[in-house]
Chains A and B, each alone.
Chain A
Amino acid sequence: MMANSSAPSAMSRRVSRVHSAFEPALFFYTIQWRSKSYHAGATLTAHHGNGSDFAGFSSLLACPDPKRIDIRASVRTVPRQWLVRTYLERAAIRVFAIVDLSSSMFFDGESNMRQQVTEFVSSLAWSATRQGDAFGMCAAADNPIPAWQVMPTFQPGTAHMIAQQMTRYWQAAGASGGEGKGATAMPEAMEAIGPQRALVFLLSDFYWADDLLQKILQAGQGHDVIPVVLRDRSATEGLPAFGWARLRDMETGEERSWMLRRRLHQQIVANAQQQKQALNAQLLKAGTRAPLWLSPGWQAEDISRHLMETMA
């Protein structure tokens, strides 16, 4: 947390460091639902074709592929007919990153949250491309942000392209990040995915009002949503031991004074804990996967494990 006056110099130094050495991590995800697309990929679909996942038998006349005639099955039929084994195709899905770019995401605490966003999103793009899925991206604050708009693409260079795109955006936005921006356009960003089911990573700090959260989750109801929670721990923990400070809310600009002392520390920590539990409950109730709480030093393995464990 930086003081108002000394913030710009420290910030610009940090921005220039964002992604000087970018190496996207690779993590894996699995899904339980079936893809409806016809683009070759790794996910099981509901339609028959050239795959390796057995679907059933069908008459040779209906499916004229003599290569797959199953003699044992044909022998058991009465009256006799030739049966052909059919398989399900595997196809690609669309993976989306929906990023909240409200002012609170510009918070600098224990780590640089913008850097975390960049790293995670480009790793996701990298992983999706590697698995043969299409990667798309949308971001919004109070308005949708065109600079972050990426239509679903299979292009191999997507990860590096969007990493550059994001870094440029961070640098242009500056330290303040356009102080006082909310996340009211997030439902629109969610709707921009389209009706076809997609795997959606919802990146935010989730410091949202309840009705906004409900609206966003409602917009994403048709999709497989994985909330990725980026909350900086230093906002509620490890506060200065004693002293009086004024705080300014980055989104609303509301000011509040804090007479920091042991009792207030306890209250704040207890409150943060309670908020975390409430958020988890709300997200699960809305039908998302269990939220992924991203800590600053995250490892690709941890994310893979979480995604596989919470496969819904």
Chain B
Amino acid sequence: MWHEGAQAVLMAAGFGDDWGLANLWPLILLPLAVLPWILHGQMNFAHPALQGLPADPLSVWLDRTWKIAISALIVALSVALAGPYLKSQYVEKVGRGAHVMIVLDRSASMNEPFVKKGDAADRVQKMEVARQVLKTLVAQGHDDLMGMVTFSTSPILAAPLGNDRGFVQAALDATEAGGMGFTAVARGLGMALDYFADQPVTGARAMVLVSDGGAHLDGKTQDMLRAMFMRQQASLYWIYLRSESGVSLKQSLAEGENIDAYPEYALHEYFQTLNVPYRVYEAENPEAVMAAVRDIATLKNKPTRYLEPVSRQDLSQYAYWLAWLAAVLLMCMFGLELKRWQA
């Protein structure tokens, strides 16, 4: 019966799930720890009458310390021999960051600079600017979970949503290869939103769409995207890399102009109807992009909970440390002990 009880206790302590022992046999040595309390084999000196003499608290504690140190040494050594370890497990961490999915446009137009004229210093590619700025974004906020999806004609998963910064940095480096194809915003956003689907809603979710242009979305796609945004509760930040010739989103269109001629504007109008927090940063030059990114980086989020895997950890070193300390203590006390009674 008590066998079951012991099992229940072990289960409650998490034995097998959270921690384990490399060897079980050294635990047989544990009962030896009571020896100093029941054996009186230490060297002592005869005295005719101790009863009447004053009690000395320091001496009493010294004796107790001696016994405790021996017990601790035995326990620590047998535990160390048993080799306790923490199993590989997930540690729940509380991050103060957001879940950020970067959706990066890699269409051919991203290869162009912001301005056509000017010297080489001004004529940096939009992609180049976006990459540098995004890299600083990734390098900031250590608690954020990040992922990246690039898209041109069809979306490509560059980095899944996770705590691995190196992954995202490498994915950003990989965009140096140059863009091609069209701007399929909807599919990119859809893919990115899919990555929120298997995560619990424990923090703010942000989609950072970096693109230099828009695309026309048909009604069915619009409805589907709206539904996904609603379901995933993700807010949307659009860094619109406006080139010289591009349309500005800040001004409303003139009367009578066809909205279909300006897909960026149509997209902007559509995003505003998503019923999720939405902000657009219109950037005409690298500095403006930088400002937009800084804005996103300083977002205040509710605490984010996520699980981080931890590898198996050996705990016997602590037991050895304890044993070492006990041994040093015992050696000091042995040195203090009188070997012969002589005045």
Question: Are B46 and A4 in contact, CB atoms less than 8 angstroms apart?
Answer: yes
Tell me, rounded to whole Å, the shortest Cβ–Cβ distance linking A272 to chain B: 8
Question: Are B59 and A259 in contact, CB atoms less than 8 angstroms apart?
Answer: yes
Tell me, rounded to whole Å, the shortest Cβ–Cβ distance linking A141 to chain B: 14
A173 contacts the other chain (CB 8 A): no
A281 contacts the other chain (CB 8 A): no
Known A-B contacts A246-B45, A255-B40, A257-B62; A271 and B52 likewise in contact (beta carbons under 8 Å): yes
Which residues in window 40-94 of B have CB below 8 A to A?
40, 42-54, 56, 58-60, 62-63, 66
Tell me which residues across on chain B come within 8 A of A252, comparing CB atoms.
Answer: 50-51
Q: What sequence of 0s and 1s flags, for each residue 236-248 of chain A, a beta carbon within 8 Å of any chain B beta carbon?
A: 1011110111111
Pick from A194-202, A216-224, A260-268 the stretch touching chain B: A260-268
B121 contacts the other chain (CB 8 A): no
Q: What sequence of 0s and 1s flags, for each residue 299-343 of chain B, a beta carbon within 8 Å of any chain A beta carbon?
A: 000000000000000000000000000000000010011111111
Question: Are B45 and A238 in contact, CB atoms less than 8 angstroms apart?
Answer: no
A249 to B59, CA, bound (A): 16
Tell me which residues across on chain A come within 8 A of B52, comparing CB atoms.
Answer: 207, 271, 275
Tell me which residues across on chain B come within 8 A of A260, comparing CB atoms.
Answer: 338
Tell me which residues across on chain A come within 8 A of B341, comparing CB atoms.
Answer: 1-3, 240, 245
Tell me which residues across on chain B come within 8 A of A235, comparing CB atoms.
Answer: 47-49
Tell me which residues across on chain A come within 8 A of B54, comparing CB atoms.
Answer: 267-268, 271
Interface centre among B62, B63, B341 (most CB of A within 10 A): B341
A236 to B338, CA, bound (A): 17
A231 to B49, CA, bound (A): 10
Question: Are B50 and A1 in contact, CB atoms less than 8 angstroms apart?
Answer: no
Question: Are B60 and A244 in contact, CB atoms less than 8 angstroms apart?
Answer: no
A256 contacts the other chain (CB 8 A): yes
A27 contacts the other chain (CB 8 A): no
Tell me which residues across on chain A come within 8 A of B338, comparing CB atoms.
Answer: 240, 243-245, 260
Residue of B nearest to A268 (CB): B53
Residue of B nearest to A267 (CB): B54
Question: Are B49 and A205 in contact, CB atoms less than 8 angstroms apart?
Answer: yes
Question: Are B56 and A244 in contact, CB atoms less than 8 angstroms apart?
Answer: no
Question: Are B59 and A258 in contact, CB atoms less than 8 angstroms apart?
Answer: yes
Question: Are B60 and A271 in contact, CB atoms less than 8 angstroms apart?
Answer: no
Question: Are B44 and A247 in contact, CB atoms less than 8 angstroms apart?
Answer: yes
A240 to B343, CA, bound (A): 4
Question: Are B49 and A246 in contact, CB atoms less than 8 angstroms apart?
Answer: no
Residue of A nearest to B64 (CB): A257
A251 to B53, CA, bound (A): 14
Which residues in window 66-94 of A have CB below 8 A to B?
none
Interface centre among B45, B49, B56, B338 (most CB of A within 10 A): B49
Q: How large is the interface on B (under 10, 10 to 19, 20 to 34, 35 or more residues)?
A: 20 to 34
Question: Are A245 and B45 in contact, CB atoms less than 8 angstroms apart?
Answer: yes
A250 contacts the other chain (CB 8 A): yes
A267 to B48, CA, bound (A): 17
Question: Are A259 and B46 in contact, CB atoms less than 8 angstroms apart?
Answer: no
A2 to B339, CA, bound (A): 10
Tell me which residues across on chain B come within 8 A of A267, comparing CB atoms.
Answer: 54, 56
A254 contacts the other chain (CB 8 A): yes
Known A-B contacts A238-B343, A244-B338, A267-B56; A259 and B62 likewise in contact (beta carbons under 8 Å): yes
A232 contacts the other chain (CB 8 A): yes
Tell me, rounded to whole Å, the shortest Cβ–Cβ distance linking A164 to chain B: 26
Known A-B contacts A4-B43, A258-B59; A239 and B343 likewise in contact (beta carbons under 8 Å): yes
Residue of A nearest to B339 (CB): A3
Question: Are B44 and A246 in contact, CB atoms less than 8 angstroms apart?
Answer: yes
A3's contact among B49, B51, B58, B340, by CB below 8 Å, is which?
A: B340
Residue of B nearest to A231 (CB): B48
A104 contacts the other chain (CB 8 A): yes
A109 to B336, CA, bound (A): 23
Tell me which residues across on chain B come within 8 A of A249, comparing CB atoms.
Answer: 47-51
Residue of B nearest to A177 (CB): B46
Question: Are A259 and B343 in contact, CB atoms less than 8 angstroms apart?
Answer: no
Tell me which residues across on chain B come within 8 A of A256, comparing CB atoms.
Answer: 50, 53, 59, 63
A135 contacts the other chain (CB 8 A): no
Tell me which residues across on chain A come within 8 A of B62, comparing CB atoms.
Answer: 244, 257, 259
A264's contact among B46, B56, B66, by CB below 8 Å, is which?
A: B56
Interface centre among A236, A244, A255 (most CB of B within 10 A): A244
Question: Are B49 and A104 in contact, CB atoms less than 8 angstroms apart?
Answer: yes
A107 contacts the other chain (CB 8 A): yes
Which residues in window 11-63 of A have CB below 8 A to B?
none
Interface centre among B45, B333, B337, B342 (most CB of A within 10 A): B45
Residue of A nearest to B60 (CB): A257
Tell me, rounded to whole Å, the shortest Cβ–Cβ distance linking A310 to chain B: 25
Question: Are B56 and A251 in contact, CB atoms less than 8 angstroms apart?
Answer: no
Tell me which residues across on chain B come within 8 A of A105, comparing CB atoms.
Answer: 48
Question: Are A244 and B48 in contact, CB atoms less than 8 angstroms apart?
Answer: no
A277 contacts the other chain (CB 8 A): no
A268 to B340, CA, bound (A): 20
A247 to B59, CA, bound (A): 11
A259 to B65, CA, bound (A): 13
B59's contact among A7, A209, A257, by CB below 8 Å, is which?
A: A257
For this complex, 24 residue pairs linking A to B, each with C-beta atoms less than 8 Å apart, are: A2-B46, A3-B45, A3-B339, A3-B341, A207-B52, A238-B343, A243-B337, A245-B44, A245-B338, A245-B341, A246-B44, A246-B45, A247-B46, A248-B44, A248-B46, A249-B47, A250-B46, A250-B48, A251-B48, A255-B44, A257-B62, A259-B56, A264-B59, A268-B53
**Which A residues fall within an 8 A CB radius of B?**
1-5, 7, 104-105, 107-108, 205, 207, 209, 231-232, 234-236, 238-241, 243-252, 254-260, 264, 267-268, 271, 275
- Nearest first, the 6 closest Cβ-Cβ pairs linking A and B are A207-B49, A104-B48, A257-B63, A243-B338, A246-B44, A107-B48
User: 17 other contacts beyond A257-B60, A271-B53, with CB at 8 A cut-off?
Assistant: A1-B46, A2-B46, A3-B45, A3-B339, A4-B43, A107-B47, A244-B59, A244-B62, A245-B341, A246-B42, A246-B44, A246-B45, A248-B47, A251-B48, A256-B50, A257-B62, A257-B66
